[in-house]
Chain A
Amino acid sequence: MTEDLVGEILESVNLHRTFNKDTPHLIINANQVLSSHQVEGLIMEPEELPDGVRAKLRVKKGVKIGSPVHLCFGLLPERGVQHIIMDIEIEDEAEVSFMAHCTFPNAVDVEHRMEAQIKVGRQAKYSYFERHWHSDEGMVKVVPVARIELEEGAHFSTEFELLKGRVGLIDLDYRTTCQARSSAEMKARIFGRQDDRIQIREAAHLIGEGSRAALTTHIAVKNQARAEINNEIIAEAPYARGHVDCKEIIQDSGLARAVPVVEVRNSKAQVTHEAAIGSVDSKQLQTLMSRGLSEEEAVDLIVEGLLS
């Protein structure tokens, strides 16, 4: 039974043929831990809750986890709530990358909440790639919240991708505090359709000298989908550097709003931002159409590029 569920979850994220049980992983369906595997230096302590799972993940000091740690969070029934609480600590000089898949392939009325506390130690490296797989019904509510602390020289990168199926509602809120010479890169790529709602708040607070942050959000909305992006970088230390990049393509009656906030409190710091919102670039469109693509094919290719 459990193996069947593991198989179903892996198949829904297209990993059923390639997944290796010996890779470090944690697979969860609703509030049930279906499978996990640790490797030396990586400690995972999942605990089942009535409506989800609380998991402590720790990478010991100086340990470099060679292959990505796979995290699969699924909710296979049509309805339900999944609450994931993550407490992650990457100790000094450790390195780890996560490949996370969140899958709700049959969702009719599903809510997925994720609360993460992430601490990345001195000179440690943490990367997290999160891909969402939703049904075409759009009745998924995704609320990921993360608070991230980067110690001196730490590197943190996260990438959130939601391109397959309907978004439903996403309300993402990631905030990072960066100590000296640490760096944070946060990216989100989302395609909203029908009446999807997308709300993104990414923030980096550069409090240490020479700390850096880059916040990148690329969104496409079509039909009546709406997106609101509120990205913020505050730099208050010398030589802190930040950049906010927000690009949104709207089609049909889609609506997009971007509010980049940049605040500099130190004369030796610098933060830049760029935001571009609009329909598909006419020159790009005409170039592809002059090669024989229909307008629809050309738009699809341009959007695919933006979200790649």
Chain B
Amino acid sequence: MAEDKMAILEVRDVSLQVNSTLILNGLSMEFWAGYVQAVVGPNGAGKSTLASLIMGLPDYRQHTGDILFEGQSIKNLNVDQRARLGITLAWQEPARFEGLKVSQFILAAAKNKDKKEVDRVLDMVGLEPARYRSRDVDKTLSGGERKRIELASILAMKPRLVMLDEPDSGVDIEAIDRIFEAINRLKKAGTTVLLITHSPKVLEKADHAFLICHGTLVDKGVTSKIMEYFSGKCLPCPHQNVPEINSGAATGGKT
């Protein structure tokens, strides 16, 4: 791990309240350029909400505190403006696009609009280009396939910071290995990777992690330290096992 930890993204005292329910509570975090970091915590802790809020999704804009990217506030920027700075998000459950070809979907995000780029990134995520480039990004693809195609589009986008929400959910063992390879590639390319997870296997891929619970930062540190959370040594926190907050669009659950 490099010693010079330069913050690319700062979350400063961020709180989000929806219909009198506090979903994020005074969170402050720093994400370092070029590192793989993880945000872990139980269901309903606010992990996906944090990712949605950093991405600037419309239902998550009414927060207090600030988000800084390379020292500049991005609080007032829309999703696409943040994306053009180099921030992106891979959803836990990727969207389906009826009629949209895999190649169109990837090229829409790609920095390099050459059609060869489609094959290159499909190869990277272990999907045979000849079999996939002309398929629709719709229900004919499994969740795992769509997840890898979404990752391919992110590889083509070449972002500065990518948030991967539960990257291992709904994918088979071979696909998980491919996803981990892609994470390594992103890191080697200098991309900052933020893993949103409650999986120890995913957490292992991180250099550093944050543990949040009930919207509050409970602990942070090297991965081995946070890993203790998964071996039954959960640190004291006010978590009351409220996994789903059904209070409108901005819930503590998944987007």
Interface residues of A (CB under 8 A from B): 218, 247, 281-284, 286-295, 297-298, 301-302, 304-308
Give B55-71 as 1s and 0s: 1 = Cβ < 8 Å from A's Cβ atoms. Answer: 10110000000000000
Chain B residues, Cβ within 8 Å of A293: 80, 83, 108-109
Whether A287 lies near B83 (C-beta < 8 A) is no
Whether B80 lies near A295 (C-beta < 8 A) is yes
Interface residues of B (CB under 8 A from A): 55, 57-58, 78-80, 82-84, 87-89, 91, 94-101, 104, 108-109, 136, 150, 153-154, 157, 255
Besides the contacts A298-B80, A301-B100, what 15 more A-B pairs have beta carbons closer than 8 Å? A218-B99, A247-B98, A286-B55, A286-B58, A288-B108, A290-B55, A290-B79, A290-B83, A291-B109, A292-B80, A293-B109, A304-B104, A305-B97, A306-B98, A308-B100
Chain A residues, Cβ within 8 Å of B87: 290
Chain B residues, Cβ within 8 Å of A284: 95-97
Interface core residue of B84, B108, B154, B255 (most chain A CB under 10 Å): B108
Interface core residue of A283, A290, A292, A293 (most chain B CB under 10 Å): A290
Nearest chain A residue, comparing its CB with the CB of B163: A290
Contact of A307 among B79, B99, B136, B154 (CB under 8 A): B99
Whether B104 lies near A289 (C-beta < 8 A) is no
Contact of B78 among A281, A288, A289, A291 (CB under 8 A): A289
Q: What are 13 A-B contacts defined by CB distance under 8 Å? A: A218-B99, A247-B98, A281-B95, A284-B95, A287-B91, A287-B94, A289-B80, A290-B82, A290-B89, A297-B108, A302-B100, A305-B100, A307-B99
In whole angstroms, what is the CA distance A294 to B80 when docked?
6
The dominant DSSP class at the A interface is helix
Nearest chain A residue, comparing its CB with the CB of B79: A289
Nearest chain A CB to B186 CB, angstrom units: 15
In whole angstroms, what is the CA distance A293 to B88 when docked?
11
In whole angstroms, what is the CA distance A235 to B193 when docked?
55
Interface core residue of A281, A287, A298, A307 (most chain B CB under 10 Å): A287
Nearest chain B residue, comparing its CB with the CB of A283: B95
Nearest chain A residue, comparing its CB with the CB of B86: A292
Whether B91 lies near A283 (C-beta < 8 A) is yes
Nearest chain A residue, comparing its CB with the CB of B59: A282
Whether B97 lies near A292 (C-beta < 8 A) is no
Chain B residues, Cβ within 8 Å of A286: 55, 57-58, 79, 95
In whole angstroms, what is the CA distance A306 to B84 when docked?
26
Whether A308 lies near B84 (C-beta < 8 A) is no
Nearest chain B CB to A292 CB, angstrom units: 4
Nearest chain A residue, comparing its CB with the CB of B57: A286
Whether B55 lies near A306 (C-beta < 8 A) is no
Chain A residues, Cβ within 8 Å of B55: 286, 290
In whole angstroms, what is the CA distance A290 to B87 when docked?
8
Chain A residues, Cβ within 8 Å of B136: 305
Whether B108 lies near A291 (C-beta < 8 A) is yes
Chain A residues, Cβ within 8 Å of B57: 286
Chain B residues, Cβ within 8 Å of A283: 91, 95, 255
Whether B100 lies near A304 (C-beta < 8 A) is yes
Whether A292 lies near B99 (C-beta < 8 A) is no
In whole angstroms, what is the CA distance A72 to B155 when docked?
45
Nearest chain A CB to B156 CB, angstrom units: 9
Nearest chain A CB to B167 CB, angstrom units: 15
Chain A residues, Cβ within 8 Å of B101: 308
Chain B residues, Cβ within 8 Å of A307: 99
Whether B108 lies near A290 (C-beta < 8 A) is no
Nearest chain A CB to B113 CB, angstrom units: 12
Contact of A291 among B97, B98, B100, B157 (CB under 8 A): B157
In whole angstroms, what is the CA distance A225 to B47 when docked?
42
Chain B residues, Cβ within 8 Å of A308: 99-101
Whether B79 lies near A305 (C-beta < 8 A) is no
Chain B residues, Cβ within 8 Å of A281: 95
Nearest chain B CB to A30 CB, angstrom units: 35
Whether A305 lies near B98 (C-beta < 8 A) is yes
Chain A residues, Cβ within 8 Å of B255: 283
Chain B residues, Cβ within 8 Å of A288: 108-109
Nearest chain B CB to A210 CB, angstrom units: 26
In whole angstroms, what is the CA distance A75 to B45 when docked?
65
Nearest chain B CB to A87 CB, angstrom units: 35
Whether A291 lies near B88 (C-beta < 8 A) is yes
In whole angstroms, what is the CA distance A65 to B80 when docked?
51
Whether A291 lies near B99 (C-beta < 8 A) is no
Chain B residues, Cβ within 8 Å of A298: 80
